[in-house]
Amino acid sequence: MVKRKRKCPRRFRKNKTSSLHINFRDMMRSFGFVTETEYKFGAFIIDEAFVDIRLAIEVDGCYWHGCSACGKPAVSKGDKRKENYLVKRNWSVLRFSECLLKKDPQFCLSVIKSFYNNYTSGLVVKYNTNDLEGVLK
C-alpha cells in the first residue's frame, strides 16, 4: 500500500506570502523602508513589521480578508483578533487592501512614510486604513 501525502493546512505551510505582498514589500524596500517580513509575534505573523517602532503593515487580499470596494465578503475572521492583540501590546497596525494597493501603491507608501515620520518625530497619529478605501472610489 502506498501512503499518500496529506496536504498541509495553509497556516502550517512555510511559504504563504502572496505575490501581492511580495510586490508591495519590494516597493517598500525600493522606497527605502527596512522591515521584517513575516515577523512572528506571539501567536500571529505580521506581514511586514517595523520592529523598532512597533508598526505592523498588513497586506490584505480581497478574497481572503474581504473588501468594501469590490464587495467581497471576508473568508477569514482572524483580522480583528490579530489587530486587537497587537494594539494591546503597543503596536500600530496599518492595513492595505488589494484594491487600494493595485489602484495607487504610491499613496499606500506615502501613508507609511507619513506615519513613520510622524512617529519618529514624536507625533502620535492614529490612522484607520479602512477609511482609505473611500479616498480612491
The three three-digit cell numbers of residue 105, written as one number: 501603491
Q: Please report whether residue 84 resides in a domain.
A: yes
- The domain total for the chain is 1
| Cβ atoms 6, 44 nearer than 8 A | no
Mean pLDDT check: name the lowest of 76-80, 97-101, 109-113, 116-120: 76-80
Mean pLDDT over the full length of the chain = 77
CA pair distance 82, 95, nearest whole angstrom = 12
Domain that holds residue 82: 40-121
Segment holding 75, helix H or strand E: none
Interval 26-43: pLDDT, tens: 999 998 999 999 999 999
pLDDT, greater one: 14 or 7: 14
Task: Write b or e for each residue in 74-84: b if 16 or more Cβ atoms lie within 10 A of its Cβ, otherwise e.
Answer: eeeeebeebbe
The three three-digit cell numbers of residue 90, written as one number: 503597543
Q: Please report whether residue 77 resides in a domain.
A: yes
Interval 60-71: pLDDT, tens: 876 556 666 666
CATH number of the domain where residue 79 is located: 3.40.960.10
pTM for the model stands at 0.74
Q: Please report whether residue 2 resides in a domain.
A: no
Q: Please report whether residue 102 resides in a domain.
A: yes
pLDDT score recorded for residue 2: 55
pLDDT > 90: what percent of the chain? Answer: 34
Q: Please report whether residue 33 resides in a domain.
A: no
| Res. 1 pLDDT band, cuts 50 70 90 | low
